[in-house]
Structure 1
Amino acid sequence: MLADATTLLASLAAAVSISMTWSFFSGAKWNPSGRHCYITGGSTGLGLALAVLLTRKGADVSIVARNEEQLAKALAQLEAARVTPNQILKSYSYSLNTCTAAKEALEVACEPHGGETPDAVFLCAGKATPGFFIEETEESMKKGMDNTYWLAAWSAMAASQRMIRTKSHGKIIFVSSVLGYMSMFGYSTYAPGKHAIRGLAEGLRQELLLYSIGVHIYFPATIFSPGYVEENKTKPRLLLEMEESDGGVTPEQAAQGLYKGIQRGDFHITDTFIGDVFRTSTRGATPQNGNFLKEAVYGIIGYIALPFWRRDCDQKVVAHRPAHEEYLTSAGVLSGGK
């Protein structure tokens, strides 16, 4: 029985490999050279890695973030990656959590380009603060949506309105997460916003067909970024233990995955095995990536494997009940201390 299952999985893997090779050599690829790429969250992590990659591809790059010191260091990295003397590389310090600020930041970034709208807007800004739902507050719940959904939505609104007004046929690229396909305990202030970003991107993909504006959304798994280090500081112990075996990628690897997805023309962009499995298992009415064979193979793997993964996670959570009750008591939660 085990041998038969192994043979089946090997055959499926071979089919995926052939399909992916075929997809690589087909279709026109997006070329960022000479294009203006606007990146939110561009001072660290995925945003910075993407900014460096696009600079090396010959793009004009504008990065936006709040921390001026980090922006200065990031801009120095872009300058080091410059390939032509006429590339326009700029940084802008803005907090993008209001509609007004998002529009202002975009307008300022357009000025060095003669007022032209960016060719591609990458919405990489975001932050996770994991914790138990029972310990969250009204303020932390709202902040969670501000730091995920609204941070992307306001800039997407500013970009789409400007592209339509100036008749620009650019791209808007959202960044969600594998947690935008599913969720786990500990992510009650993060995953809802990532799911909401998916909903927004899927609606805009269709609406912006009216104006020949492209929309993509990226669903990365774990990225070993400065943000990941920070979120681990608040993660419940059980969640840290459950994620110990998870694979992850560097910001540079994630940037490459996102870039290749755009080159392929994918709407939902995934660049890890687990991402492909969740994407095909929860695709709904979104366009397929590549050909039917590859999608079907990942879908079959998800149909077989995900119920076992979910059961394993549930069992670990249930086994953690005694330790969790001790934690709640010591934290004062059960006595109404929080």
Structure 2
Amino acid sequence: MQLLDFQSIILTLILSALTFALWTMRSTRIWNPRCQFCYVTGGSSGLGLAVAKALIKRGAHVTIVARNEERLANALAKLEGFRQNPDQIIRSYSFSLTDADASKSALEAASKDHGGKYPDAVFMCAGAATPGFFVEEDAQSMQKGMDNTYWVQAYTALAYTKQIVRDKTPGKLVFTCSLLGYMSMIGYSTYSPGKHALRGLAETLRSELILYDCSVHIMFPGNIDSPGYVEENRVKPKITLEIESTDKATAPEALAIELIHGIERDEFHIAPDKLSNIFRCSTIGATPHHNLLWDGFYALIGWIGLPLWRRDVDSKILNHREEHNEYLTAVGFFKTDPLMD
């Protein structure tokens, strides 16, 4: 009798776990961008342009914002070709989003095209990386790194949140992070810290903005096949390029589709591929799960595979030590007293 009771308990637990797993698989809320006012930063190229294109093809009103006016004009012309109906409002504005006042002004300018109404959804795709060795950085380059990774999105989020709360309207914030927001490696001392901070901001806002019916999402892509990635690789340290040599950059169009699908599934952390899912589930903490069974599977792979990957990375870095010392000597690093910098 006791054996039967024990078996019943085990069976009940298994069925409960499966039921919960299936429950977490369902889409709790489907978001449809059709006729929504969507605001995309970094929309003149790369991921931002791909997101704007995907939204327009789904019938959204889209405003793109970036700094370079020439690229913006070219991007706007391309986006017009994806218009689904003559009533769609497609606009572009040039602002420097690493400035708080300019970020607010950009949102205000875009809202005028919609009778003063702020966007239904804000997609923050602006950002840039300038890889290098930490010992070669200075205060200015480190500040620039935070500007281009954290503040370029945080200022927009702040201006947007303040206004929709004052207007008592729902909203949607979509951050673009990076796989380097889950971990980091040599060469990314001015990039990864800002992305980790961005994750922290998104985690906080996901909790706080429940008060105002504003949902929060954040995507963690790997390398993106974009003009920014090409420029990044021009200055990337040799050892970083070696570590990343087997990583294939993903087309921004594919990432844009995964981003929108993730929002449609109401995912908070959006991991667009298997590798990012492994890192997501290995560092999940108190972040909401997607699916209990799949997340457990990815976490198991990470528990086994990531220490091996890290050991391989460390080995490559140690083997690079002599070459790195020669590099620092060649650029004159040792001729300067570090305390005098």
TM-score (norm 1): 0.92
Instruction: Return 5+ residue gaps in structure 2 as ranges.
Output: 1-19
1:144 alignment partner in structure 2: 145
Cα distance, 1:117 vs structure 2: 1.2
1:222 alignment partner in structure 2: 223
SS at match of 1:230: helix
Cα distance, 1:21 vs structure 2: 11
**Cα distance change on mapping 1:287 and 1:24 into 2, 3 Å:** closer
Aligned pairs (5 A) from 1:237-248: 237-248=238-249
Q: Which amino acid is the alignment partner of residue 299 of structure 1?
A: A
SS at match of 2:196: helix
* Cα separation, 2, equivalents of 1:246 and 1:238: 14
Is it true that 1:113 corresponds to 2:114 in the alignment?
A: yes
Q: Which amino acid is the alignment partner of residue 319 of structure 1?
A: N
Q: Which amino acid is the alignment partner of residue 271 of structure 2?
A: T
2:4 alignment partner in structure 1: none
Is it true that 1:129 corresponds to 2:130 in the alignment?
A: yes
Cα distance, 1:314 vs structure 2: 0.1
* Cα separation, 2, equivalents of 1:58 and 1:186: 40
Aligned pairs (5 A) from 1:1-16: none
Q: Which amino acid is the alignment partner of residue 65 of structure 2?
A: V
**Cα distance change on mapping 1:188 and 1:272 into 2, 3 Å:** same
* Cα separation, 1, equivalents of 2:253 and 2:233: 20
* Cα separation, 2, equivalents of 1:257 and 1:317: 33
Cα distance, 1:27 vs structure 2: 4.2
Instruction: Return 5+ residue gaps in structure 1 as ranges.
Output: 1-18
CA deviation string 1:304-327 (max 9, x = no partner): 000000000000000011111111
Aligned pairs (5 A) from 1:21-32: 26-32=27-33
Task: Give every structure 1 segment of 4 or more consecutive aligned residues whose post-TM-superposition deviation is greater than 6 Å.
Answer: 19-25
SS at match of 2:328: helix
2:185 alignment partner in structure 1: 184
Check the 8 A contact 2:149/2:191 in 1, yes or no.
yes
CA deviation string 1:66-96 (max 9, x = no partner): 0000000110111000000000000000001
1:332 alignment partner in structure 2: 332
* Cα separation, 1, equivalents of 2:251 and 2:23: 27
* Cα separation, 2, equivalents of 1:286 and 1:227: 30
Cα distance, 1:22 vs structure 2: 9.4
TM-score (norm 2): 0.91
1:47 alignment partner in structure 2: 48
Cα distance, 1:25 vs structure 2: 6.7
2:15 alignment partner in structure 1: none
2:309 alignment partner in structure 1: 309
1:198 alignment partner in structure 2: 199
Cα distance, 1:168 vs structure 2: 1.5
* Cα separation, 2, equivalents of 1:326 and 1:96: 39
- Pick which of 106-115 and 246-255 moved more: 246-255
**Cα distance change on mapping 1:118 and 1:149 into 2, 3 Å:** same
Work out the number of aligned pairs and report it: 319
Q: Which amino acid is the alignment partner of residue 56 of structure 1?
A: K
* Cα separation, 1, equivalents of 2:324 and 2:132: 13
CA deviation string 1:119-139 (max 9, x = no partner): 000111000000000100110
* Cα separation, 2, equivalents of 1:211 and 1:138: 37
2:292 alignment partner in structure 1: 292
**Cα distance change on mapping 1:59 and 1:20 into 2, 3 Å:** farther
* Cα separation, 2, equivalents of 1:82 and 1:23: 35
Cα distance, 1:28 vs structure 2: 3.9
* Cα separation, 2, equivalents of 1:325 and 1:20: 52
SS at match of 1:233: helix
Cα distance, 1:247 vs structure 2: 2.5
SS at match of 2:113: helix
Q: Which amino acid is the alignment partner of residue 51 of structure 2?
A: L
Cα distance, 1:223 vs structure 2: 0.6
Q: Which amino acid is the alignment partner of residue 304 of structure 2?
A: I
SS at match of 2:40: strand
**Cα distance change on mapping 1:22 and 1:271 into 2, 3 Å:** farther
* Cα separation, 1, equivalents of 2:120 and 2:178: 24
CA deviation string 1:142-195 (max 9, x = no partner): 000011101111000011111111111110001110000000110000000000
Tell which structure's C-alpha radius of gyration is larger: 2
Q: Which amino acid is the alignment partner of residue 280 of structure 1?
A: C
Cα distance, 1:334 vs structure 2: 1.7
1:271 alignment partner in structure 2: 272
Q: Which amino acid is the alignment partner of residue 308 of structure 1?
A: L
